[in-house]
Amino acid sequence: MSNPLVVDIHTHVYPPAYIEMLRARKKVPYIHDPSDGGPPRLIILASDDDSSIPVDERGRPVDSSYSDIKVKLDFMQKHGIDCSVISLANPWLDFVGEEQASEWAQKINDDLDSTCTQVNTTVSQTQSARLPRLFAFGTLPLGAPGPEAIADELHRIKTLRHMRGVIMGTTGRGHGLDDPGLDPVWKALEDTQLMLFLHPHYGLPDEAFGGPEVVRRYGHVLPLALGFPLETTIAVTRMYLSGVFDRFPKLQILLAHSGGTLPFLAGRIESCIAHERTFKVNGGTVQGPQRGIWDVLKTNIYLDAVVYGTAGMKAAVEASGGTTDRLLFGTDHPFFPPLSDEDEQWTSVVTNYKAINKTFEKDGDAVAGVLGGNAIRILNLK
């Protein structure tokens, strides 16, 4: 078998205009240029905006990998990635108020689509590419005055050549994803059949880990390793419990980091629902979800393969109904770069490649599907 096509569906950018917007801000999220001339610091997590840390050292250094598409293309080449579906990185436009939300969403979406056009045109003229190099997930004006503006942008995104879906965080319009006010957004997603890429940003409150001192003790490990996946799990569970998948059975949702922890906890969620006295089915007064969680996982949910090991991968496959058809390779670039400056492949990426190969070693079709075939088919990447 020839080398399978590799598609990265979890890879982020901050377009230059977005970077400049962050640079003009003084509260989270913002970019600060240190007085010693060192690399700019990106401060997007509330926990990094800590007055006990000198402002020149807060957050993480941000380099050209965040906004220069050439760096992304180099990264793709180095790691054997044929095609990337780029998306704005967190926190997207969550913090942009109603006056400017729609304008910024249009600007970012047009910018991303135009970047795809430029790169794909150049590549097709100079190289024998097996696939267009770039597609994109758009971003939504969640701060717009009403959900209709969000739905409008979804319909506009659908008309852009390289858009295949939208990325969204877990807060929706500020009240979580079980907010009935989001129904027009779910409706527009169904109507356009755009993929919703659900991604964490806010993690869990420090108190969940034992307070800010405990969190700081271990750097970013607790918020990133545990907080992020739980945030995703909570968000999609609230959607599910509130009946979103009953009302909008055609939603297509891609969950970051293999669903956070949803594949592992789906059974426990199902059991807790079956034993919940509040729910009507058990004699209570509250309408619980009508569809089973395993049905939703098999029908509405796709999982990326950014799970760093065979244990998570096996749960992801099993939760998808025992099929590898809903699992999609990703890198999380430009996050988790090597900590040294060595010119090697990124450990974070190699770990996920290895996990895929080891999990499906006896099944070349499965490997090819997870690495790229599934994404090409599901997102129509041509």
Question: By C-alpha distance, which of 140, 143, 167, 142 is closest to 154?
Answer: 140
Strand partners, 95: none
What's the closest the beta carbon of residue 191 comes to a second copy, in angstroms?
A: 27
For residues 276 and 284, is the Cβ–Cβ distance under 8 A?
yes
Query: 270 is written with which tokens?
Result: 């199902």
Is residue 152 left, alpha or beta, with left meaning phi > 0 and alpha meaning psi from -120 to 50? alpha
Regarding 257 and contact with a second copy (CB under 8 A), the answer is: yes
Residue number with CB closer to a second copy (19 or 226): 226
Residue number with CB closer to a second copy (155 or 217): 217
Q: Which residues in the 134-173 window bind a second copy by CB under 8 A?
A: none
Task: Say if residue 249 is exposed, middle or buried (CB neighbours under 10 Å; 0-12, 13-18, 19+).
Answer: middle
DSSP secondary structure code for residue 137 in this structure: E
In the list 225, 280, 357, 361, the residue contacting a second copy (rule: CB under 8 A) is 225
For residues 309 and 352, is the Cβ–Cβ distance under 8 A?
no
Residue number with CB closer to a second copy (187 or 238): 238
Question: By C-alpha distance, which of 269, 267, 367 is closest to 327?
Answer: 367
Residue number with CB closer to a second copy (4 or 59): 59
What's the closest the beta carbon of residue 190 comes to a second copy, in angstroms?
A: 24
Regarding 243 and contact with a second copy (CB under 8 A), the answer is: no
Separation CA 221–CA 128 (nearest Å): 41
Separation CA 36–CA 38 (nearest Å): 6
Regarding 236 and contact with a second copy (CB under 8 A), the answer is: no
Residue number with CB closer to a second copy (249 or 309): 309
Q: Which residues in the 340-369 window bind a second copy by CB under 8 A?
A: 340, 347-348, 351, 355
Residue 77 CB partners (closer than 8 Å, separation 6+): none
What's the closest the beta carbon of residue 149 comes to a second copy, in angstroms?
A: 23
Regarding 14 and contact with a second copy (CB under 8 A), the answer is: no
Q: Rounded to an integer, what is the distance from CA 262 to the centroid of its chain?
A: 15
Separation CA 85–CA 10 (nearest Å): 7
Q: Which residues in the 307-346 window bind a second copy by CB under 8 A?
A: 307-312, 314-316, 318-319, 336-337, 339-340
Regarding 197 and contact with a second copy (CB under 8 A), the answer is: no
In the list 214, 250, 357, 365, the residue contacting a second copy (rule: CB under 8 A) is 214
Query: Contacts with a second copy: how many residues (CB under 8 A)?
Result: 72
Contact stretch for a second copy (CB under 8 A) within 83-91, 107-115, 180-188, 268-276 = 268-276
